[in-house]
Amino acid sequence: MRAEIRRALLAVRGGSTALRGALRRPWGRPSGAALRFMILVGLVAALFVATLVAGLDKDALLNAAGGNGLFAPAAAVIGSALLVAALVPRTLLALAGGALFGTVLGAVYVLVGVTTGAALAFCVGRLLGRSFVSTRLRGRVAVVEAAVARRGVWAVVVCRLIPIVPFALSNYAFGTTSVRPRQMITGTMLGALPATVAYAALGSATMQGDWLGAKVAGGCVLALGACGVIGTYFVWRRRPRAAA
């Protein structure tokens, strides 16, 4: 009888210890994945604040790139990559690129730069956020993430064409999904191409005083925005839904 009582007490003590551990675990020291995710969030927030404080505009970018002479194309590509990773809007970069190099070369340099910057931000998001996010996908969020991974390149293209999705932030966000790097790069180049060309043409026409060209380019920019809004509606209508 005493042995049975002792075993029962040990079982109760072991159960209570396990229960205390289970209750304490969520409130204890964060895991490595959670710590890396917090670093990612802090990094993005710091870059956002720094971009707002810096107050970059087209004239500042023109002054920074205009004095590099033969190295201006390389400066445009590298600068676009770093600035996109720092959450500077790509439309501003395309305007400056078109003003400096013309429509075609400006669009090419900026597109290569922003794609490189997007890949850099994607790698940071993958390194710091993927392991944390992958273990916490539930319900509708899990369904959406699975749909994004299944469509791959086209999911990235659609995201780039939707005006309400911030380009720079989505680069880090895609890193936390199961989209592959190759799909991210290809989708970014395809999806960013129309707006990059339109804004580069607008910057070039404005710099040259070609007001007719500026009106045409501005009309293209507005048309792309309208198409993006319509596309957003259809994407919302066809969004994946969690099973009941």
Position 120 pLDDT exceeds 80? yes
Same domain membership, residue 215 and residue 135: yes
Number of compact structural domains in the chain: 2
Percent of residues, the chain, with pLDDT higher than 90 = 26
Q: What's the average model confidence in pLDDT over 23-31?
A: 52
Q: Is residue 244 part of a domain?
A: no
Q: Which two structure tokens, joined as six digits, stand for 193?
A: 């191409």
Nearest Cα residue to 81 out of 221, 201, 192, 204: 192
Same domain membership, residue 43 and residue 153: yes
Alpha-helical (H) ranges within 166-242 are 167-175, 181-208, 211-237
Same domain membership, residue 146 and residue 114: yes
Same domain membership, residue 123 and residue 54: yes
Q: Is residue 242 part of a domain?
A: no
Q: Is residue 233 part of a domain?
A: yes
Torsion on CA atoms 48, 53, 54, 57, rounded to nearest 10? 90
Position 224 pLDDT exceeds 90? no
Same domain membership, residue 89 and residue 14: no
Same domain membership, residue 155 and residue 112: yes
Same domain membership, residue 128 and residue 11: no
For residue 57, the model assigns a pLDDT of 66
Same domain membership, residue 132 and residue 18: no
Q: pLDDT-based confidence at 29, cuts 50/70/90?
A: low
* 72-86 pLDDT tens trace: 888 889 989 999 999
Please tell me the pTM assigned to this model. 0.77
Same domain membership, residue 42 and residue 9: no
For residue 26, the model assigns a pLDDT of 47
Same domain membership, residue 24 and residue 139: no
For residue 9, the model assigns a pLDDT of 40
What range does the domain containing 119 cover?
Answer: 35-237
* 55-108 pLDDT tens trace: 666 666 666 665 566 778 888 899 899 999 998 889 989 998 998 899 999 999
* 133-189 pLDDT tens trace: 878 777 777 777 777 777 788 888 888 888 778 888 899 989 888 889 999 999 999
Q: Is residue 206 part of a domain?
A: yes
Nearest Cα residue to 129 out of 220, 32, 57: 32
Same domain membership, residue 41 and residue 162: yes
Between 226 and 239, name the one with better pLDDT: 226
Q: Is residue 110 part of a domain?
A: yes
* 192-213 pLDDT tens trace: 999 999 999 999 998 888 888 8
Cβ–Cβ < 8 Å for 76, 113: yes
Q: Is residue 243 part of a domain?
A: no
Same domain membership, residue 110 and residue 40: yes
Q: pLDDT-based confidence at 235, cuts 50/70/90?
A: low
Q: Is residue 174 part of a domain?
A: yes
